[in-house]
Structure 1
């Protein structure tokens, strides 16, 4: 049963009701997920781009990409760094959340292929891909569910409607882009 706010139901999706309805636990839960994944991805991206937080910068990360079978390692380091940083910022702010989720999903699919040789669990000898799967699943879930009401997307009415269409399209875009990178850029 929907509670009411004045004469309007809180299930009413009008912008007026959305702005004045009380926050729910799911809004806070989505904010916590966005902040956790987004901030961590910004950190990983800036490691690649600038060498911050003990990262290799473009040079060191580019060498890693080449050793992992990617051609043009430095270019791939730039692309991965920008994708993680901008995708992470998008998730953190709840800005263009479906596209931010797509960027993260695509990056994590590539990370899974790099880390798949180490087994599944991170405790395996050479690392693993369990964390990559968790981050990709969280990003896909946020792309589908939306960022909640404590987000910049709240002010973009087009993203409040057709959420499932945009979310599914974004996840597919991220997966297809990752597949193309793996097909044409990785040996």
Structure 2
């Protein structure tokens, strides 16, 4: 029996993975749908766009959910969703966008609770969106992205993606620590 050793270069190789036009189009579609959905949610919080509650009502919601300084938390969440979503949609600073959205989803899932997975009170949609953010952060944005045209960001850098997701999770959990 042959024992296989894990090749570290699989995780930490900085060369771009082989991709096809169809692969990159698939990433583009997923980035646009997930990123613009998250940006839309952020603008609902910040500006009341798309029938959203706006900053004052969102701040009250954060206070009722046990966060101190609800208005400040509403701004942080709204900016994280808006800028993270736009970054993801454009494929701009994709690991950073993934980190911002990871912190948001850690808090969303905690507030919503894990009592049910499916609607009407479940977290199914949040889990699917979060998994999409993680997948896009780990795979990279593909060639139809701003990152692809910036020399320093052109190559998919898996270690940055993993570090960004971990940093986003840590920040998300730190925010949960200040919640009542």
**Offset from partner CA, 1:141-185 (integer Å, 9 cap, x none):** 11111000000001223334461101100100110000100012x
For 1:55-66, what aligned pairs fall within 5 Å after superposition? 55-66=52-63
* 4+ long deviations beyond 4 Å: none
Partner of 1:170: 164
TM (norm. structure 1) is 0.83
Partner of 2:65: 68
Q: What value does the CA root-mean-square deviation take over the aligned residues? A: 2.0
Cα pair 1:111 1:129 within 8 Å, conserved: no
Q: Say whether 1:92 aligns with 2:86.
A: no
**Offset from partner CA, 1:19-62 (integer Å, 9 cap, x none):** xx995211000001100001111110000000111111110001
Cα pair 1:47 1:56 within 8 Å, conserved: yes
**Offset from partner CA, 1:120-155 (integer Å, 9 cap, x none):** 2222xxx22221211111111111110000000012
SS in 1 for 2:152: helix
Q: Say whether 1:109 aligns with 2:106.
A: yes
Bigger radius of gyration: 1
TM (norm. structure 2) is 0.86
- Name the structure, 1 or 2, with higher relative contact order (CA <8 Å, separation 6+): 2
Partner of 1:130: 124
